[in-house]
């Protein structure tokens, strides 16, 4: 299973009135972690899109385990759990430095063309595991 890590520090603007990381920002963090993992493979979203391949979120889920606070340094472990010719599935685990699991998530990305129709992903992306 292909796995990578991303470190993100919670910014003040990402917190709610109680000083907790707002739930919607986990999706932004997951996207950053996916982008970092793709870069580790030697690719990036801009190059894929320039070639006419668009990876759109078809499904996403998050389970919140423990709160994250302003200025926490979070480690996001991202793994590719499954690939098909048109889909890419990821798993996410978000940890504080002390090892506390903050959140778990999963996403399914579908590959579409410029008109939004499903299309096969580049072969190198499907076979990378």
29-76 pLDDT tens trace: 999 999 999 999 888 999 999 999 999 999 999 999 999 999 999 999
pTM for this entry = 0.92
| Fold held by 3-127 | Thiol Ester Dehydrase; Chain A (3.10.129)
As a whole number of angstroms, the distance between CA 32 and CA 66 comes to: 20
User: What is the pLDDT at residue 128?
Assistant: 59
Instruction: Give the integer Cα–Cα distance in Å for 50 and 71.
Output: 36
Q: Phi, psi (5° rounding) for residue 79? A: -130, 140
For residues 84 and 58, the answer to whether their CB atoms sit within 8 Å is: no
Q: Average model confidence (pLDDT) for the chain?
A: 94
Residue 12, pLDDT above cutoff 70: yes
On whether the CB atoms of residues 80 and 128 are closer than 8 A, the answer is yes
CB neighbours of residue 93 within 10 Å: 18
């Amino acid at each position: 299973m292909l796995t990578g890590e991303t470190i993100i520090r919670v910014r003040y603007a990402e917190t709610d009135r109680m000083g907790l990381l707002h739930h919607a920002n986990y999706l932004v963090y997951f996207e950053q972690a996916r982008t970092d993992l793709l870069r580790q493979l030697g690719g990036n979203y801009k190059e894929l899109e320039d070639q006419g391949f668009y990876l759109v979120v078809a499904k996403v889920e998050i389970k919140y385990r423990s709160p994250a606070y302003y200025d926490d340094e979070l480690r996001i472990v991202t793994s590719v759990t499954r690939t098909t010719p048109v889909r890419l599935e990821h798993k996410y685990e978000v940890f504080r430095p002390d090892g506390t699991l903050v959140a778990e998530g999963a996403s399914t990305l579908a590959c579409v063309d410029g008109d939004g129709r499903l299309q096969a992903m580049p072969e190198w992306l499907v076979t990378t595991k």
